[in-house]
Amino acid sequence: MSRPDPSRLGLPPLAAQFFTIAGAALGGVGVAVVGVPAGWLSGAMIGTAILAALRLAEPLSAPFRWAAMVSSGVAIGAAVTPQMLQKIAAYPLSIAIMAASVVLSTFACAKILARAPDWTRSTAFFASVPGALSYVFAVAATDEKADLSRIAVVQVLRVFLLMGFVPLIVAETASAHAAPLSGAVDPFATLVVLVVLGAAVGFAMERFRVAGGMLFGAMLVSGGAHALSLAPGRPPTIVAILAQILIGAWVGARFIGFDWRLFARSAPAALGSFFVAVGIAGVFAVFAGLLLSLPFAQTLLAFSPGGLEAMTLLAFALGIDPLYVGAHHLARFLLISFTLPFAFKYWMREKA
């Protein structure tokens, strides 16, 4: 992947970032008004990706990313119900099934990519790992035969396609549209307390290197407050919309500096591995749903090989249990973090 191109706007970085967020919001409006599930989120991502392709987007700085995580966590936490908490007992078995799907998906997709022209075995393996992108890049950078540009193409394309198409798949298999938010709205003072405490806990989790710490810290604070009725209702709708726009802009900004010529050369192999990964996730999601009496839409989002923050917020936007989905994607991150070097060593010892 090439280095990010400078924006053609010629604006100061802060102004350029606001322009990028405005483009994301416009994309969100355009997709949401036609009734696409999670339209604000997927539309913001698409809008930002278009700006990136036109070299008009600016990467979001840390304060904007923190705002995205905290606002998302506060909004998701407000959806926590006692019924969700009662189902936590089903998580360990479901996570074990998900872990098996991750292993099968990684090695199946790696075998496909390794047979593509100009793909080394190490490049194929790292491009096939479903998630933990920053960690995958860090490990891949230690192998001189790993092509980071090709890895980026496959990984970024996978997240983009998942956020664009999974809502449509879910909508066709279940009543996945989020129900209109109703009931009391949290007072402004309560919202401020949730944001401040959520940011503090999230920052502490980040310091301890917890994956998605800012998001889960805010989720923990907001979820606990709402589950204990310390917060009377829900955040204003604008908070949920803002969260989706910022997350969509953050994901879409990954296309800044994207090597489109390399994408064209890698597209057949990348798309083939994507459909194999989603197919494997779908089969295991069906199995977990039948075994544990869980909705397919819920298990599919939890098993889909996407980003932790994006998929958790996507679940919230679709009216699906975000605790279940978030727990599985956090478990996926931990599984990859602890096993990646060993799995790579095993893969490289195999015969092509």
Question: Any residues with CB less than 8 A from the CB of 125 and at least 6 apart, and which?
Answer: 106, 110, 114, 343, 344, 347, 348
Q: How far is CA 129 from the centre of its chain?
A: 14
CB atoms within 10 A of CB 333: 19
Does residue 148 surpass a pLDDT of 60? Answer: yes
Nearest to 319 by CA among 215, 176, 223: 176
Does residue 4 surpass a pLDDT of 50? Answer: no
Whether 142 maps to a domain, the answer reads yes
Whether 300 maps to a domain, the answer reads yes
Average pLDDT, the chain: 86
Q: How buried is residue 189: exposed, middle or buried, by Cβ count under 10 Å (0-12/13-18/19+)?
A: exposed
The predicted model gives 203-221 an average pLDDT of: 87
Q: Which two tokens stand for residue 314?
A: 């996507």
In angstroms, the first-to-last Cα distance of the chain is 26
What single-letter amino acid sits at 201? V
Overall pTM > 0.95? no
Q: Which has more confidence, 10 or 344?
A: 344
Per-residue pLDDT band for 9 (boundaries 50, 70, 90) equals low
Per-residue pLDDT of 272-305, as tens digits, reads: 999 999 999 999 999 999 999 999 989 999 999 8
Query: Could you tell me the sign of the dihedral formed by the alpha carbons of 46, 199, 204, 88, in that order?
Result: negative
Mapping DSSP to helix (H, G, I), strand (E, B) and coil, where does residue 234 land?
strand
Q: What is the pLDDT of residue 81?
A: 73
Whether 3 maps to a domain, the answer reads no
Per-residue pLDDT band for 267 (boundaries 50, 70, 90) equals confident
Q: What is the pLDDT of residue 1?
A: 46
Whether 5 maps to a domain, the answer reads no
Does residue 48 surpass a pLDDT of 90? Answer: yes
Q: Give percent of the chain with pLDDT exceeding 90.
A: 44
Whether 264 maps to a domain, the answer reads yes
Q: How far apart are CA 317 and CA 209, in angstroms?
A: 26
Q: What is the pLDDT of residue 20?
A: 95
Q: Which two tokens stand for residue 276?
A: 């194999």
Whether 1 maps to a domain, the answer reads no
Q: Which two tokens stand for residue 271?
A: 């798309």
Q: How far is CA 330 from the centre of its chain?
A: 11
Look-up of token digits 């606002």 = 71
Question: What is the domain-level CATH number for residue 321?
Answer: 1.20.1530
Does residue 99 surpass a pLDDT of 90? Answer: yes
Range of the structural domain that residue 23 is part of: 13-349
Does residue 2 surpass a pLDDT of 50? Answer: no
Q: How far apart are CA 211 and CA 133, in angstroms?
A: 11
| Beta strand residue intervals within the chain, DSSP E | none
- When divided into structural domains, the chain yields a total of 1
CB atoms within 10 A of CB 144: 7
Per-residue pLDDT band for 313 (boundaries 50, 70, 90) equals confident
Q: How far apart are CA 304 and CA 282, in angstroms?
A: 8
Per-residue pLDDT of 162-202, as tens digits, reads: 887 777 777 666 554 444 444 678 888 999 999 999 999 99
Query: What's the DSSP call for residue 231?
Result: S
Nearest to 117 by CA among 92, 155, 150: 150
Whether 254 maps to a domain, the answer reads yes
Enclosing H/E stretch for 92:
helix 91-114
For residue 234, the cross-strand partners are 185
Whether 7 maps to a domain, the answer reads no
Q: Which of 5-14, 173-182, 237-246, 303-312 has the highest mean pLDDT?
A: 237-246
Per-residue pLDDT band for 35 (boundaries 50, 70, 90) equals confident
Question: Any residues with CB less than 8 A from the CB of 291 and at least 6 apart, and which?
Answer: 93, 97
Q: What is the pLDDT of residue 176?
A: 44
